Chains A and B, each alone.
Chain A
Amino acid sequence: MIIKGRIKTGEYFDSVTLMIVGRDISAMPGVQDAAVVMGTKENQAILKSSGLWLSEFESAGDTDLLFAVKAESEELAGKVMQGIDQQLKNVRNRADADEEYRPKSFEAALNALPGANVALISIAGRYAGEEAMKALKAGLHVMLFSDNV
């Protein structure tokens, strides 16, 4: 079995993305195990005890990403290494696309739901008046759950 790995700096992926990519790579034919993790000393210790350790990981910092793969051939391990960046982006994009749309302003919410006839406002009081007036001017009823308006 061949172990290959590398350190990637300056990019952040959430925990679920890292776990999914590691799991997907491990399930590839010819791959025995893989990990895509942050480079904490503790995660490095688990790489050691699970047989995925490479000495080059020693220089990694806590906010670096570590890629490690154990595959049946040099060629396959190299191919997996080349594809990891794209896999991370694909999983992240998939997660973004799956996320429910949450409008960040009254106007965007009204565009998303043009048939709405009531606005429920529950924000800090000093901002509530302005938002309530916007809703009233747009012809909506207003239910206001804010104090100190």
Chain B
Amino acid sequence: MIEILSIGDRVPAGKYRPFFRFAGALNFVRAPHRPGLGGPTLVCVIEESKGAGPLNIVVRGDLSAVMSLEVRKSQVLLGGSPFKIERRYDSALSLTRPVSPEALGNNLAAFEVALLKNAPAGSLAFLLKRETDETPPASYMAELARTLREGFERLLAGDMSGGARAIKGRGFGLTPGGDDLLAGFLLGLNALHAAFGLDVSKEVRTLRRASRSRNLFSEAFLRCAAEGRFFESAKVLASALFQGSDEEVRRACARLSAVGASSGADLSVGLLSALKLHASKLQKVSA
């Protein structure tokens, strides 16, 4: 028996076809309503352990026999069985209290320490450490690390376009680590807008344009991030960073770092970097 626990606020109505299945997740696509308008739409039907997200339909039960998906205005047909949509997961970051740049600065320091502790080997957390002088032997891994570091430094220098082009599509996994990092950076920029009303629209637009991907998973993820749409564990961390204690930040960081093999940690690197880039400027202004 299947039970639908939540449906993301960015899941559009339509008939979908199966696209890709992996452990605990069944991914569906829908062709664009009109060709050329935004490309195909991806929707992920996932087990509850993976958490809610803007494009996620979270279910409890056995997914193995599910082969079809149709989303209507107030109903989901999953494997032909109808389920009423009772409420949608709200993926926007809404902060209820005033935010202080100083508190954010302290929480970002706790976030960085926790991320370096929790990030799995092979994640992009190495970018947060200073580059060593040692020249690595010529290899695929060395070339990948060099390219990613170059792109990361360009992002930190404010070159959104050059940085994104050097990072996107690079790395291991179905959503390459570079794309996860860029999605995190976009979420960080949007979080700054939500918290301080900072005008980041130009940076978001430039980064989004330069990070467009032909990979359906990356593209869906990046599009949501550019629109400021958070999946659950990223939203919990962002809320903790702006309005929580350092202990809440550490817990939320550990939870996000456990998402995927390295996706959560890679996204965290981008989120942290975008916030750090602007937090120091905000602190100077408030002082």
Contact = CB atoms under 8 A, between A and B. Distances in A.
B121 interface: yes
Contacts of A17: 261
A52 B139 CA distance: 9
Interface string B166-199: 0011111110111000000000000000000000
Given A12-B20, A15-B177, A46-B147, A40 B138 contact: no
B104 to A, nearest CB: 27
Interface residues of B, number: 39
Nearest to A49: B143
Nearest to B170: A42
Contacts of A68: 140
A106 to B, nearest CB: 12
A46 B47 CA distance: 35
Contact of A37 (B6, B22, B172): B172
Contacts, number: 104
B144 A46 contact: yes
B70 to A, nearest CB: 24
B49 to A, nearest CB: 7
B99 to A, nearest CB: 25
B49 A63 contact: no
B280 interface: no
B260 interface: yes
Interface size class of A (residues with CB under 8 A): 35 or more
Nearest to A32: B139
A19 B20 contact: no
B223 to A, nearest CB: 16
Contact of B261 (A15, A26, A35): A15
Given A16-B120, A38-B176, A102-B49, A46 B170 contact: yes
A43 B170 CA distance: 5
B5 interface: yes
B263 interface: yes
A50 B121 contact: no
Interface string A22-58: 1100100000011111101111001101111000000
Given A16-B262, A50-B140, A63 B173 contact: no
Contacts of A124: 5-6
Contacts of A75: none
A19 B122 contact: yes
Contact of A15 (B22, B48, B216, B260): B260
B168 A42 contact: yes
Nearest to B215: A62
A105 B190 CA distance: 36
B213 interface: yes
Contact of A47 (B120, B140, B172, B261): B140
Nearest to A124: B5
A20 interface: yes
Output the residue of A19, A35, A50, A102 with the most chain B CB within 10 A. Answer: A19
Contacts of B129: none
Interface string B94-119: 00000000000000000000000000
Contact of A40 (B6, B86, B215): B215
Given A38-B174, A40-B169, 14 more contacts: A14-B262, A15-B171, A15-B174, A16-B121, A16-B172, A16-B261, A18-B172, A33-B138, A40-B213, A41-B169, A43-B176, A50-B143, A50-B144, A104-B48
Interface of B: 5-6, 20, 22, 47-49, 60, 86, 120-122, 138-144, 147, 168-174, 176-178, 213-216, 218, 260-263
